[in-house]
Structure 1
Amino acid sequence: MSVKEVPEEYLSGYAEILAEVGRTGRRLTRDEVEGRRALGEQAAESGHGLRALVIRHLAATRVAWPRTTSPESVLAAVEQAIDAFAGGYERAQRLAVRKEEAARREFIDDLLYGRSDPGRLAQRAERFGLRLAHAHAVAVAAGPEPYDDTHPVTRSVEAALLSRFGDRRILLTTKDGRLICVVPADQEEVVRYFAKQAHAATDGGRAAIGRPHPGAGGVVRSYEEALNALDLADRIGLDDPVLHAADLLVFPVLARDREAMADLVDSALGPLQQARGGAQPLLDTLHAYFDAGCVAAQAARTLRLSVRALTYRLERIHRLTGSDPTDPQHRYMLQTAAIGARLLDWPAKEL
């Protein structure tokens, strides 16, 4: 904004103050200082730039410079007046930022919890770069410490996303100490990149990506899927740095009927408790074997056993349970029971 575009109203009384100071050598009174601050606030609220306002004050100073035997007093008054004006301007700016942050936080809460009217929420979403008529996916990242919008980790991930993708209607925020990224469904590369950057920035944290869903309710659903994926990973010991809710759909299905799942675990795996050392070592063997795609050599490396020792354990499981992990006809039941054991934290907890 040029100097000419700054309205005279923001210089109201300035020339008179300088004239009075030139005659008396006094400093600005408290009322005069507050008046300059109030004008600074008004200028900020009207959207004028501080640089242009300061230049306009300096130009007015040249025009209104009084005849005086104490130029130092006039310079001190100029400094005092401009400082008060800038202070008011900055105060208004801080207030505007706080209001904007509060509005953004309220929107984030309403968006992720689905608490607002969908039509009004969609209108508010436009302000933050989202078009809720389209499908969106939500990614959530958690690390060893909680994060807020000003945390260096949040800033680092945000800078990486902006550098790579620019302004692509990406919403990056935090909620309950976690990093949240909401992106349009057709920008899968963005959410994958977010997960990668969040994993690195959080020093080995974990990210989960919900499935894309349409509408404002779809954002809530995708967010909940990502949260559930993180919770599930903690419960059953998944160590993948990036989780996809679409890959974990079987687990919620299995967990819906706890009584039936507990019965399956007890029937299929309960006999493992008869083994020397209890059920846990043999259950770990099943987990490693199934996680390795039933490849004995890979499972043995995971458990730091020889293939022969692993084979012995599998045979021991067969003898105790009557089900052979290497037999495709028995494998599904044992694997489902092993998943159930993870979900129910068995044998650490009783069924």
Structure 2
Amino acid sequence: MDGVLARVSEATGVPADLLGGFLSVLTASAATGRLPGRDDVDGLRECGALAAERGIPLRVLADACLRAAEITSGGAFGAVRRSLAAFAEGYEEAQRTAVRREEEARRLFVDDLLLGRADAERAEHFGLRLAEAYVVTVARADPPPSAADPLIGRIEQAMFARFGSHNILVAVRDGLLVCASPASLAAAGGEFTHHVRSSLKEWRVGVGRPHNGPGGIVTSFREAANAIELGERLGLRAQVLKAADLLVFPVLLRDRAAIVDLVSTVLGPLTGARGGPEPLLETLEAVFAAQGNHTAAARRLGVSARSITYRLERIRRLTGFSPTDPTQRFTLETAVLGARLLEWPSRPLS
């Protein structure tokens, strides 16, 4: 028996200690014509569990058993083993083909969905009920993820485990990691962001607003992607940007001529300052972000509070607008935001 175990173990890679009980059962059954008893079956179950714990595929274990039977019994067992191997190969190849087809169908569906071309029937197949309101959360990483990135699968499985596969869609589009979830699952966006934060060093997240229907997912996706873009253009420090918090900026951009006029009129005089307008723009941004607190603004810029006071007075003299006056503060803040949107002063106003 030891010689058979050694031959089978060498041929299949299955440890001999997992096969000894099987050979004993096989030998006893051949001698008596009886099926294995309960104790024998329990022993084989334990060996099966050990094989699973050691990472031995079931197909490999089955092949080892059939090889042992072929050696000890001869005859038709060789044909049985080869036939079962062929069955298994065909079965596994069909499974792999089905998985590839499903992945391709899913990729095409995601492309169509985010272009507004998906229908409700296809969406149902992938677990989305487009009559509901959906929120899209996107993450930008450096380097951008690909559809084949293992990270996508890990985040997807984590989201499925908590919210169910029929509620969440995780995909890659335009270099962004995308998560679409029903607006009723308020925690989904935060969970997605948590996994992004845990998995990536360089990242930024944009969150769209909830919208209904197939076109709603497209709209929410664009809002989320635009939120990240606006954050970059405005120099915002927050890593999670919500489209709902940035609604004023698309409004400003719709009338470019008006915002150019505002920036030119209000901030244009800063070009005459020593060192150019950039330090004074940064000072205004810091003061506005600190709600007018000079000490906090100074800490943000790494200067003294006295420097902040001096710079604000310089701005007042050059522009005629004071950040301490409520009406003039609003005009200044809007002009500063407009300047960032127009990338002024690095780009000329036109």
Structure 2 length-normalised TM: 0.76
CA distance in 1, matches of 2:182, 2:76: 59
| RMSD of aligned residue pairs (Cα, Å) | 2.7
- 1:233 aligned to 2:231? yes
- The structural deviation recorded for 1:257 is 1.5
Counterpart amino acid of residue 153 in structure 2: R
Contact 1:139 1:182 in 2 (8 A): yes
Question: Offset of 1:223 from its aligned partner?
Answer: 0.7
Partner of 1:85: 87
Moved more, 100-109 or 152-161: 152-161
Number of the residue aligned with 2:141: 143
1:285-337 CA-partner distances (Å, limit 9, x unpaired): 11111122222111111001111111100000001111111211211111111
Contact (CA 8 Å) 2:206, 2:241: kept in 1 or not? Answer: yes
- Who is 2:158 aligned against? 160
Provide the rounded CA distance (Å) in 1 between the counterparts of 2:324 and 2:166: 49
Q: Secondary structure at the match of 1:323?
A: coil
- Which residue is equivalent to 2:319? 321
Matched with 1:244 is: 242
Taking every aligned residue pair, what percent have the same amino acid on both sides?
49
Pick closer, same or farther for the CA change 1:285–1:336 going to 2, 3 Å.
Answer: same
User: Do structure 1's residue 129 and structure 2's residue 127 form an aligned pair?
Assistant: yes
Report the Cα distance in structure 1 between the residues aligned to 2:92 and 2:133, rounded to whole angstroms: 40
Paired AA for residue 174 in structure 1? V
CA distance in 2 between partners of 1:318 and 1:149 (Å): 52
- Match in the other structure for 1:214: 212
Indicate the residue corresponding to 2:102 in structure 1: 100
Change (3 A) 1:73 1:273: farther
TM-score normalised per structure 1? 0.76
Distance 1:166 1:130 in 2: 11
Cα distance in 2 for partners of 1:70, 1:268 equals 95
Structure 1: which 5+ residue stretches go unaligned?
1-49
Flag structure 2 segments of 5+ consecutive residues without an equivalent: 1-56
Q: Is the 8 A contact 1:137 1:184 kept in 2?
A: yes
Q: Is the 8 A contact 1:141 1:199 kept in 2?
A: no
Q: Distance in 2 between matches of 1:180 and 1:292?
A: 33
SS in 1 for 2:137: strand
Cα drift, residue 162 of structure 1: 3.3
User: Mean Cα displacement is larger for which, 340-349 or 79-88?
Assistant: 79-88
* Change beyond 3 A, Cα 1:70–1:306: closer
Cα separation, 2, equivalents of 1:229 and 1:73:
71
Q: Which amino acid aligns with 2:313?
A: E
Paired with 1:84 and 1:148, the residues of 2 have a C-alpha distance of 35
Q: Are the equivalent residues in 1 in contact too, given 2:141–2:176 (CA < 8 A)?
A: yes
1:156–1:201 Cα contact (<8 Å) kept? no
Alpha-carbon offset, residue 79 of structure 1: 3.8
Distance 2:105 2:153 in 1: 20
